Amino acid sequence: MTERKKDLLILSGLLAVLLILFSKILFTSQIIRAPDIINEFYWGIKGFGSRPFLSLFKVDFSSAGWNPLLNSGHTNEGGMVSEQFLIIRNLIFWIFPAPASVAWYIVAQLFFGAAGTYCLCRLIGAGRPASFLAGLVFAVAPENASLINAGHVMKIATITFAPWAFYFLEKGFITRRLIFFLTTAVVLAFQFFHTHWQIAYYTCLAVGVYGIARSLAIVMGEPEGKKEFRRLFGLNLALLAFFLTTVAISLVPLANWSKDTNRGVNSGANVSTASGSSEAKGGLAREEAMSWSMPPEEAAAFIIPGMFGFSRQEAGENPDNIDAYYWGRMHFTQTVSYMGLLPWLLLPLPLIFRRDRYTWLALSAVVVGIFFSMGKYTLFYNLLFDYFPGINRFRVPKMMMFIPVLGLGVLSALGLDLLLDPVVRATRAFKRYILGVVLLPVLLLALVGTEIATGQFWVNQFIDMLAQPTRYQPQSEQLVLERWNNLVAETAIAAGLAALFAAAFALYHRGKLAAKLVPLVLTALFLLDVGRVNSKFLFLVDEPHKAAGVKPPEIAFLANQPKEYRTLPLGGDPMPYADSGIPVMFTSNAVQQRRWQELLDNFNLLSSMPDMLNVRYLVLGRDQYRQDQASLAGKYRPVFTTPDGGAVILENQNVLPKAWLVPVALKATSAQESLVALQNPAFDPRLMAVVESDPPIPLAAPNARIATTPGQVRVVRYEGERIDLDASVAMNSLLVMGEKYYRGWRATVDGKLTEIYPVNHVLRGVYLTPGTHKVEFVFDPLPFKIGKYLTLASFAVFAVFLGREAWQRKRQLAVEN
């Protein structure tokens, strides 16, 4: 059997293990109980199974995309178009029936990451059993696997590209060949295409640090290193440049789009630098950005996974195998900071017996990644937040923990090889190491005894933390007891597992356990360990009835209404409405356009805001309607009640058409002044509009008596990226559309390009003179077109290099034969 076939056999075994471990969520008709899946992700992929096969391979880059169904009009300016490259993802959603297709995609991606970790470890000299263990660590370590609980599907997918990026980069350093540096760039680009940009950014940071450290080690540590400086510099520069051009189809439009978001440079957040200057940096405010920092004391959860409880499912049912929910200092968490006990037991071996560059690089990934994850609790992260570009755009430092998991997997592989090395086994240092392994369960048992004997003392010492209520659980004596008992029980379980590992190590050291059985025994114990924890995060519920083909009556009613009007579900999930082709006013997004977020923060149902946004229908639950009926009665009237009386649909009697003409413009000097005007009961958007600059044509004065209507507007064409209007104008007017203002739109009046102005803070408008006009709006942002052509050019260049590589290999084989 060839070496390649042996590796493929091991990888097949790795896949089989993952299929068994995650069989609960794979072979089912249920869906993973995670709000991000049930409320968002699932609705975007559930129709893949009914698509024609060839459509899965269709790529269309003709439009940047403006979705009129979501959030009163939604776009990433083309930054999401690159998802069309994810053909393997599309095939999985097409092959496997929904809703289990989501789980199949997650497990497929975890295998992809595990395979990358295996190949990386093999590349740096680890044996097959050791590399197999490393792959398992990456895929099933609860720190990564518990992301399933949170429903972070694309985060999991994005993480799994990191091992491959390091694999190809290291292969590039070993061979000094350009093709591997270019392949690293392509891997990083495809990671970015999986749309979790925070993970992609963190991977790029880690790869950059690795590249610099590896290059310096070569230049300073190898005999011919100084002669290699220019070549290494050129190869690293080629990687950077090729990554930027390959990812441009996403990066260029997203960079432009993000400027005006609530995390962009114009957001107003984080406006003061550390030195106290008033220069705007943009990004998130410090407290928000650091709210998901891992508290230092939770490092104890690396050994005792349930020390601070386990994450609770958000909404709906909750697992019955959790004795205490998370009560640590983070705002909340949906995951657990545990990577298994075995990797930590193996970690000392390479530090003692193999202090080479791979040991130090992997150890740096573990240590630096953990410090980074601690966020606000470390000076290190605070300095990065203040001075390093991009860090302040993200709010969860703990997301960096996938890098320590990868580093720990590599160290585990190196450690297992050393454990099996007879030369290492014969040393005195190895005996001391075994003594340390055996000492761990003793220390944990002593800790259990201390917790039992002096429990009341420690409860009193930490009563503030133990009694702290969460958004799920009120403060009570029972809560304190529940948490303390769980802490004691988890410490006892950790002691028991440590004892099993210690027994295996001791038996091997004494020659009573054959070396060839050691990897099997240790891997089995590792799977027992992490499987117990992961089982608390694999929770299923029935598929939503809406997704099973039965439309709720309120959605069936609204689906038959005109599509130029919007619906606002109050207290319900808007995605099923949008999935049924019903435009909704609001959908929850962590990153919103700044203007839109400001309007949402000041939104008032009784003001003119819903009228100008074409919000015609409100959907309320029965109890909410009874509570708000009196206040809404003057403006909204009930038009539909579901047969069970559970939901009521109200119609806005003051709703405005899609476009209208306004004879008066009021100039506001600030965003706040504009928002105050919109909330004023005297403000009538039919007669006046709030603008931000002086009109280019004279309009009627605010107090003028207007005897006739300014004219009529008719919508001729209403599509996502194009809107055509016919306007019959009687006097100088401002044509206002109930659509968001966004700089990616361009407008023509009678074929001539005209400027689009922000109106009423979030809407768009153009000024018109008397007469009959044809007005056209087209969404065609320039950054998307630039990025598209750069990416396509990069793919063409890469194809040439791959062709050259294949030709050289074929030629080499011909010479050898």
Average the pLDDT over 298-324 and give the result: 86
Average pLDDT value for the chain: 91
Average the pLDDT over 49-76 and give the result: 90
Q: Which residue has the higher pLDDT, 283 or 546?
A: 283
Q: 0.85 cut: is pTM over it?
A: yes
Contacts of 11 (CB under 8 A, 6+ apart): 115, 118
Max alpha carbon distance in the chain (Å)? 103
User: pLDDT-based confidence at 209, cuts 50/70/90?
Assistant: very high
pLDDT at 671 over 80: yes
Q: Which amino acid is at 303?
A: I
Q: 328-348 b/e with 16+ CB inside 10 Å = b?
A: bebebbbbbbbbbbbbbbbbb
The residue written with tokens 């000041």 in the block is: 602
Alpha-carbon gap, residue 785 to 371, rounded angstroms: 40
The residue written with tokens 């001075």 in the block is: 387
Average the pLDDT over 428-435 and give the result: 96
- What local confidence, expressed as pLDDT, does residue 549 receive? 56
- What local confidence, expressed as pLDDT, does residue 45 receive? 87
pLDDT in tens, 800-810: 999 999 898 88
CA dihedral sign of residues 285, 286, 291, 294:
positive
pLDDT in tens, 440-486: 999 999 999 999 999 899 999 889 889 988 877 888 888 999 999 99
- What local confidence, expressed as pLDDT, does residue 116 receive? 98
Q: 365-395 b/e with 16+ CB inside 10 Å = b?
A: bbebbbbbbbbbbbeebbebbeeeeebbbbb
601 φψ region: left (φ > 0), alpha (ψ -120 to 50), beta (else):
alpha
User: pLDDT-based confidence at 35, cuts 50/70/90?
Assistant: confident
DSSP-derived letter for residue 69 is T
pLDDT in tens, 368-386: 999 999 999 999 999 999 9
User: pLDDT-based confidence at 316, cuts 50/70/90?
Assistant: low
Alpha-carbon gap, residue 624 to 630, rounded angstroms: 11
Alpha-carbon gap, residue 238 to 516, rounded angstroms: 44
Q: Hey, what are 332's tokens?
A: 């909340």
* CB-CB contact of 28 with 100 (8 Å): yes
Residue 570 parent element (H or E): none
User: pLDDT-based confidence at 74, cuts 50/70/90?
Assistant: very high
Which residue, 164, 308, 248, is CA-closest to 788?
248
User: pLDDT-based confidence at 492, cuts 50/70/90?
Assistant: very high
- What local confidence, expressed as pLDDT, does residue 338 receive? 96
pLDDT in tens, 327-348: 999 888 889 999 999 999 999 9
**Above pLDDT 90, what percent of the chain?**
75
DSSP strands (E only) in 593-751: 615-621, 636-641, 647-652, 659-662, 664-667, 688-691, 711-718, 722-729, 733-740, 745-749
Which residue, 311, 316, 313, 315, is CA-closest to 327?
311
Work out the number of other CB atoms within 10 angstroms of the CB of residue 466. 18
pLDDT at 272 over 50: no
pLDDT at 262 over 70: yes
Task: Of 70-79, 261-270, 662-671, 693-702, give the lowest mean pLDDT range.
Answer: 261-270
pLDDT in tens, 499-531: 999 999 999 999 899 999 999 999 999 999 999
Contacts of 767 (CB under 8 A, 6+ apart): 695, 696, 697, 732, 733, 734, 735, 754, 757
pLDDT in tens, 100-157: 999 999 999 999 999 999 999 999 999 999 999 999 999 999 999 999 988 889 999 9
Alpha-carbon gap, residue 587 to 468, rounded angstroms: 32
- 3-class secondary-structure state, position 124: coil
Which residue, 294, 258, 327, is CA-closest to 400?
294
* CB-CB contact of 715 with 723 (8 Å): yes
The residue written with tokens 């004065």 in the block is: 701
Alpha-carbon gap, residue 379 to 369, rounded angstroms: 14
- What local confidence, expressed as pLDDT, does residue 275 receive? 40
**Above pLDDT 70, what percent of the chain?**
96
User: pLDDT-based confidence at 278, cuts 50/70/90?
Assistant: very low
- What local confidence, expressed as pLDDT, does residue 314 receive? 67
- What local confidence, expressed as pLDDT, does residue 524 receive? 97
